[in-house]
């Protein structure tokens, strides 16, 4: 049987046909990558008191990209450049991640998803990268900014992706302190690009967007871990 992969989703205003209302939505790149690699994608919209039951019903978890995590989640005042807070999504995804770790379910965090992992593990974020680096992590004119990421020998990221990789970024925040996670990837300016949970069979977060483009190695590895 194909493994069921839970993907966290947005709840945002959307317009289609006759409707203009809040909607549960997610870029099709994510479920397409999952199906391409042999999994069954299921969307997990933000909700209260459901993390335990949902994690029991999926074989692996993908924490997807999205808006900034509220700074109050890691005890800071928000930067003026931050997105409007989505408190329910923040709390839901932290609960999902912690439950998945407790249950030993494989986890892949993507962009915001890596940041959720770090916050859930007691870490905190750099709230606005242009304040601390000149390397472009979010393009003003293109969907993504491209730069190099390098990975630590012996890490899961290194085993899956090699020594380095040109990555596609779209974020203005990044992990400053990974908490109980281990940093296993860095950008050219030493911005955190990958973190892993020590002792986990598969708990990896990356700061770029592997769902966009043809490189599905991380999805293949997640689904292989969910199938074992």
> Is 111 among the residues known to form the active site?
yes
Tokens of 97: 């991640």
Do residues 136 and 196 touch, judged by C-beta distance below 8 A? no
Instruction: Select from 202, 159, 170 the least CA-distant residue to 64.
Output: 170
> Is 147 among the residues known to form the active site?
no
Residue 193: φ, ψ to 5°: -115, -20
Catalytic, out of 37, 93, 111, 147: 111
Catalytic, out of 137, 147, 171, 209: 209
Tokens of 222: 């997640």
Spatial distance between the Cα atoms of 111 and 205, rounded to a whole number of angstroms: 8
Tokens of 195: 């973190």
Residue 68 falls in which region: left (phi positive, over 0), alpha (psi -120 to 50) or beta = beta
Tokens of 82: 């931050």
- Catalytic positions: 111, 209, 211
């Amino acid at each position: 049987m194909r493994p069921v992969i839970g993907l966290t989703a947005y709840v945002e205003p959307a317009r289609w046909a006759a409707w203009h209302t809040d909607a549960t939505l997610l870029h099709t790149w994510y479920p397409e990558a999952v199906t391409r690699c042999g999994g069954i994608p299921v969307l997990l919209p933000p909700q209260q008191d459901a993390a335990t039951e949902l994690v029991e019903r999926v074989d692996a978890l993908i924490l997807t990209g999205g808006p900034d995590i509220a700074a109050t989640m890691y005890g800071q005042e928000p930067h003026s450049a931050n997105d409007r807070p989505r408190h329910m999504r923040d709390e839901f995804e932290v609960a999902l991640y912690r439950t998945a770790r407790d249950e030993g379910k494989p986890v892949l965090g993507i962009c915001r998803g890596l940041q959720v992992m770090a916050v859930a593990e007691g870490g905190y974020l750099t709230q606005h990268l242009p304040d601390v680096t000149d390397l472009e992590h979010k393009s003003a004119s293109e969907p993504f900014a491209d730069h190099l990421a390098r990975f630590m020998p012996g890490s899961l990221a290194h085993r899956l992706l090699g020594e380095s990789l040109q990555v596609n970024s779209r974020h203005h925040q990044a992990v400053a302190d990974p908490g109980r996670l281990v940093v296993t990837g860095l950008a050219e300016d030493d911005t955190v690009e990958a973190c892993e949970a020590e002792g986990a069979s598969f708990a990896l977060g990356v700061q770029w967007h592997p769902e966009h483009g043809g490189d599905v190695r991380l999805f293949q590895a997640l689904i292989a871990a969910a199938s074992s």
